């Protein structure tokens, strides 16, 4: 069951700030160094100073980006830039966005506290592997700020659209906040303190299982934080503020739950250890190839869309990719009819369902076995970029920062749900739920729940 609660949210004072786009940011893990600099320069109160502060010369155990985040949070609350709602609330949220095809989509759901569950309970499931470095980073930030600064995205089933109709009814009112971000996504927020609606929502969610769509590192960091606090306080009744985390809950069945592809770009450093001609020769035993060429020096959105459309068309029948070289040569490849990925991938520990995924075929077979010749090989951060925008790939190839890119298809939602339901995890960056949740729209400060226990008894 999913145990949810309203909470006292902390939000930017839009009367002082004005357009909230000046102070909000994407999740920390998609912010590049250049974007980090731009967000810091955009506004003195941009949330990036909390979620992704900068290292400074002379930093030590007592003064660092984590302690600065905590001090900044306290300052913004004391000077009125951040304000608390007067009582526990549920926060309804909608994102309206345009796909590259021009189609308009809408994703709606709600922010609430959700009781943390160990994966073994089956109540909340993960679908991606995590890494210790990012989890240690997010845990340090939680320790310092004692807050959930960004929500994670979790999905539930609402096949009959019963809950969605309730949400839509409450969203007919004028939004409390509305703004457009740099990508043209329109964000709308409603604050609901209606007791009947909240209790109905809580009752409905009790029958639901959740799976994490985005934010695995933050979720597991929150589990570690909870376990440490339990040991410190001796309170293990599962009713403490640290037993809950702020999450954005949304339905799997809605039209606006979109997964975008995450492309792989291999660096020049990695490709120095690969004989591409030999690799292609071996791949032709299992893949059908077709070749083309673009002018990489002038390639832009039009060329990127053409490549993506071709990969999508091939991918309707079989796992497919496009290899794009720095020279502008394109090799489109599609798994030959009758070839079983489970027989290609030499990894007995990988589940058969996972072996069918495009990302598994790429990483475990093409890169590990064919390119490297080591089934247990793992790419380092300086060997592969994970990129959503093909125009960015062109920039990396033009700038000689990369040698080869794999243009991917998105992992279908039904495939994701099938793998997760089986309790299996997918390769890193298998999914990119678009658009990303904005950070800073609602913040949950755990101290508020501690000071006002009614927030957990509503």
pLDDT digits 0-9 by tens, 58-84: 999 999 999 999 999 999 999 999 999
Q: Considering only the C-alpha atoms of the chain, give the largest distance between any 2 of them, rounded to a whole number of Å.
A: 66
Q: Residue 457: pLDDT above 90?
A: no
How confident is the model over 205-223, as pLDDT tens digits?
999 999 999 999 999 999 9
Determine how many CB atoms are found less than 10 A away from the CB of residue 353: 17
Q: Which pLDDT belongs to residue 127? A: 84
- Closest of 150, 39, 20, 127 to residue 443, by C-alpha: 150
Q: Which pLDDT belongs to residue 454? A: 43
Burial class (CB in 10 A: 0-12, 13-18, 19+), 232: exposed
How confident is the model over 353-391, as pLDDT tens digits?
888 899 999 999 999 999 999 888 888 878 999 998 899
User: Domain boundaries in the chain?
Assistant: 4-258+435-456, 262-409
How confident is the model over 276-304, as pLDDT tens digits?
999 999 999 999 999 999 999 999 989 99
Gap between the Cα atoms of 316 and 310, Å rounded: 10
Q: How confident is the model at residue 451 (pLDDT cuts 50, 70, 90)?
A: very low
CA dihedral 196, 199, 201, 202 (to 10 degrees): 180
How confident is the model over 117-165, as pLDDT tens digits?
999 898 999 888 888 999 999 999 999 999 999 999 999 999 999 999 9
pTM metric for this prediction: 0.89
Q: Which pLDDT belongs to residue 455? A: 41
78-87, 218-227, 313-322, 413-422: range with lowest mean pLDDT: 413-422
Q: Containing H/E element for 386?
A: strand 384-387
Average pLDDT over the chain reads 92
Gap between the Cα atoms of 319 and 311, Å rounded: 9
Per DSSP, the chain holds a count of helices (H) and strands (E) of 17, 21
To the nearest whole percent, how much of the chain has pLDDT over 90? 80
How confident is the model over 18-61, as pLDDT tens digits?
999 999 999 998 898 899 999 999 999 999 999 999 999 999 99
Q: Which pLDDT belongs to residue 146? A: 96
3-class DSSP state of 21: helix
Angle, alpha carbons 179-440-390 (nearest 5°) = 70
CA dihedral 220, 222, 226, 229 (to 10 degrees): 120
174: tokens are 């004028």
Q: Which pLDDT belongs to residue 255? A: 87
Q: How confident is the model at residue 394 (pLDDT cuts 50, 70, 90)?
A: very high
Q: Which pLDDT belongs to residue 450? A: 56
How confident is the model over 218-239, as pLDDT tens digits?
999 999 999 999 999 999 999 9
Q: How confident is the model at residue 452 (pLDDT cuts 50, 70, 90)?
A: very low
- The DSSP call for residue 53 is P
3-class DSSP state of 375: coil
Q: Which pLDDT belongs to residue 189? A: 98
To the nearest whole percent, how much of the chain has pLDDT over 70? 98
């Amino acid at each position: 069951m999913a145990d949810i609660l309203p909470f006292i949210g902390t939000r930017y004072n839009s009367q002082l700030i004005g357009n909230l786009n000046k102070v909000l940011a994407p999740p920390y893990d998609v912010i590049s160094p250049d974007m980090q600099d731009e967000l810091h320069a955009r506004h003195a109160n941009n949330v990036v100073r909390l979620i992704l502060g900068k290292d400074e010369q002379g930093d030590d155990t007592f003064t660092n980006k984590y302690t600065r985040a905590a001090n900044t949070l306290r300052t913004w609350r004391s000077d009125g830039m951040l304000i608390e709602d007067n009582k526990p609330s549920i926060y309804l949220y909608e994102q309206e966005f345009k796909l590259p095809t021009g189609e308009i989509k809408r994703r709606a759901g709600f922010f609430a506290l959700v009781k943390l569950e160990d994966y073994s309970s089956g109540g909340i499931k993960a679908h991606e592997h995590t890494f210790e470095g990012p989890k240690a980073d997010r845990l340090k930030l939680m320790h310092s700020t004692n807050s959930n600064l960004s929500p994670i995205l979790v999905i539930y089933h609402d096949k009959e659209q019963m809950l969605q109709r309730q949400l839509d009814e409450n969203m007919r009112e004028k939004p409390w906040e509305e703004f457009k971000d740099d990508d043209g996504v329109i964000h709308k927020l409603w604050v609901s303190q209606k007791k009947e609606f909240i209790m109905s929502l809580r009752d409905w969610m009790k029958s639901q299982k959740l799976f994490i769509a985005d934010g695995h590192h933050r979720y597991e960091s929150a589990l570690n934080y909870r376990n440490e606090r339990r040991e410190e306080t001796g309170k293990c009744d599962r009713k403490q503020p640290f037993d809950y985390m702020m999450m954005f809950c949304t339905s799997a069945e809605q039209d606006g739950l979109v997964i975008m592809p995450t492309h792989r770009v291999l660096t020049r450093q990695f490709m120095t250890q690969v004989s591409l001609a030999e690799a292609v020769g071996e791949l032709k035993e299992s893949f059908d190839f077709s070749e083309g060429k673009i002018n990489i020096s002038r390639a832009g959105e039009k060329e990127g869309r053409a490549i993506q459309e071709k990969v999508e068309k091939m991918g309707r029948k079989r796992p497919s990719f496009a290899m794009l070289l720095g020279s502008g040569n394109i090799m489109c490849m599609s798994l030959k009819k009758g070839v079983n990925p489970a027989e290609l991938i030499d990894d007995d520990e990988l589940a058969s369902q996972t072996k069918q995924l495009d990302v598994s075929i790429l990483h475990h077979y093409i890169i590990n076995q064919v390119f490297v010749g080591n089934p247990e090989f793992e790419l380092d951060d300086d060997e592969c970029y994970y990129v959503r925008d093909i125009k960015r790939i062109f920039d990396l190839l033009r700038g000689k920062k990369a040698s080869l890119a794999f243009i991917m298809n998105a992992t279908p939602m039904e495939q994701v749900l099938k793998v997760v339901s089986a309790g299996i995890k997918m390769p890193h960056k298998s999914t990119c739920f678009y658009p990303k949740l904005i950070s800073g729209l609602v913040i949950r400060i755990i101290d508020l729940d501690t000071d006002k226990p009614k927030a957990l008894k509503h």
